[in-house]
Amino acid sequence: MIQIEKLRKVYRSGDRTVTAVDDVDLTVREGEVFGVLGRSGAGKSTLLRCVNLLERPDSGRVLVDGRDLLALKGGALREARRGIGMIHQHFGLLSSRTVAGNVAFPLEVMGVPRAERAGRVAELLELVGLTEHAGAYPAQISGGQKQRVGIARALAGRPKVLLSDEATSALDPETTASILELLRDLNRRLGLTVLLITHEMEVVKRICDSAAVMRAGRFVESGPVQRLLMEPGSELARGLFPLPEPDVRPGTTVVDVTFEGDSADRPFVSSLARTYAIDVNILGGAVEQIGDTRIGRLRVELPGDPELNAAQLAHLRESGLTVEVHGTSLEGAR
């Protein structure tokens, strides 16, 4: 549904140039929720703004619903952009208009006749659960309700794609959860494809099918969330399972073991302890529900150097677990 090829955006001001998006490739399949994570300044907003051409890329291709946006002009481009809705962190509502008036605004711009507008506004408000607040002004509703207005407004042109730039960053955790649920629901019911950017793991955990981690204008990892989490060295996994750098005691091996689905139910710790007659020390960890599966990470300490534990580590890997070994005791002793 969204295909981005070798996208590049450079900002130039005076003698300073910033490559905000640096040759990014991205594919978002129809009906998918795709999350882009990254620190401040990584280029996330710039990337998103290039998808609906709020920002003109320097090079690369942007295809949305099969249309090459950079090749379109005038009416054809306006029409294509209508198929892309967008929501923002700070909602951007018109304070002098009611909830219904805000939702009607894009319909007026599109030239939808007045008689049709009222029905369409009612339908949109129903979709986001705001029917009762149609006559309220933005100052009279909560942040979560404001974002619902933002979503209704973004859906006015019946877009196939919704772009979201930190839509829940200004909301408390409970409201965030309800907005994420609404987005997931719209994604399923309308088949809406969602490309969102966020710095919250919670967002990825709750609604993203796929994700990418962006740093300095580039994607450092990208793919289905469950797959990424099982990849050794995944930054996404480190974000989801925040464990401090371990203090590896000499003569021990500290390993982070990541497990998925079935293996979550397999007691690999006791199996390891029994098979090799060793004490396995659990140092930390957590299990998270990701989509339809559970993924967990456990940090364990084994007696002996990693070289001595080669068989134990192989045993874990052969059980389908992702194994990451922390600095050896030799390094620790230096």
Ligand X SMILES: Nc1ncnc2c1ncn2[C@@H]1O[C@H](COP(=O)(O)OP(=O)(O)OP(=O)(O)O)[C@@H](O)[C@H]1O
Q: Which of 2, 4, 20, 194 binds ligand X (CB under 6 A)?
A: 20
Residue 18 touching ligand X (CB under 6 A): yes
144 interface partner picked from ligand X, Mg ion, none, CB below 5 to 8 A per type: none
* Binder among 28, 34, 38, 259 for ligand X (CB under 6 A): 38
Mark 41-80 with x for binding to ligand X (rule: CB under 6 A) and - for no binding: xxxxxx----------------------------------
Whole-number Å distance between alpha carbons of 153 and 196: 17
Q: Which does 20 bind (CB under 5 to 8 A by kind): Mg ion, ligand X, none?
A: ligand X
**Whole-number minimum distance, CB 42 to ligand X, in Å?**
4
Sites of contact with Mg ion (CB under 5 A)? 45
Interface region with ligand X, contact rule CB under 6 A, candidates 34-42, 155-163, 270-278, 301-309: 34-42
Helix, strand, or coil (residue 200): coil
The DSSP symbol for 31 reads T
- In the complex, the smallest distance separating the C-beta of residue 196 from Mg ion, rounded to whole angstroms, is 12
211 lines the binding site for ligand X (CB under 6 A): no
Buried b (16+ CB within 10 A) or exposed e, 49-69: bbbbbebebeebebbbbeeeb
Partner that binds at residue 13, options Mg ion, ligand X, none, CB closer than 5 to 8 Å by kind: ligand X
| Residue among 45 and 52 whose Cβ is closer to Mg ion | 45
Q: Which is nearer to ligand X, 13 or 95 (CB)?
A: 13
Of 38 and 150, the one with the shorter C-beta distance to ligand X is 38
Return the number of the residue (32 or 165) whose C-beta is nearest Mg ion.
165
Segments in 211-294 forming alpha helices (H):
225-229, 235-240, 262-265, 268-276
| C-alpha–C-alpha distance, residues 193 and 126, integer Å | 20
Whose Cβ is closer to Mg ion: residue 45's or residue 176's?
45
Q: Where are the beta strands (DSSP E) in 148-198?
A: 161-165, 193-198
Sheet holding 293-303, edge to edge: 281-290, 293-303, 252-260, 322-325
- Min dist CB 164 to Mg ion, Å, is 11
Q: Which is nearer to ligand X, 3 or 169 (CB)?
A: 169
Give the one entry of ligand X, Mg ion, none that residue 87 binds, where binding means its C-beta sits below a cut-off of 5 to 8 angstroms depending on kind: none
Percent helix, percent strand, percent coil in the chain, to nearest 5: 40, 30, 30
Q: Which stretch binds ligand X (CB under 6 A): 36-44, 95-103, 186-194, 276-284?
A: 36-44
Q: Of the two residues 104 and 163, which places its CB atom closer to Mg ion in the complex?
A: 163
**242 Cβ neighbours under 8 A, 6+ residues apart:** none
For the record, the structure tokens of 305 come out as 């150097």
From Mg ion, ligand X, none, interface partner of 163 (C-beta below 5 to 8 A by class): none
Buried b (16+ CB within 10 A) or exposed e, 130-169: beebeeebbeebebbbbbbbbbbbbbbbebbbbbbbbbbe
How many Cβ atoms sit within 10 Å of the Cβ of residue 108?
Answer: 12
Q: How far apart are CA 124 and CA 106, in angstroms?
A: 12
Q: Which residues bind to ligand X, rule: CB under 6 A?
A: 11, 13, 18, 20, 38, 40-46
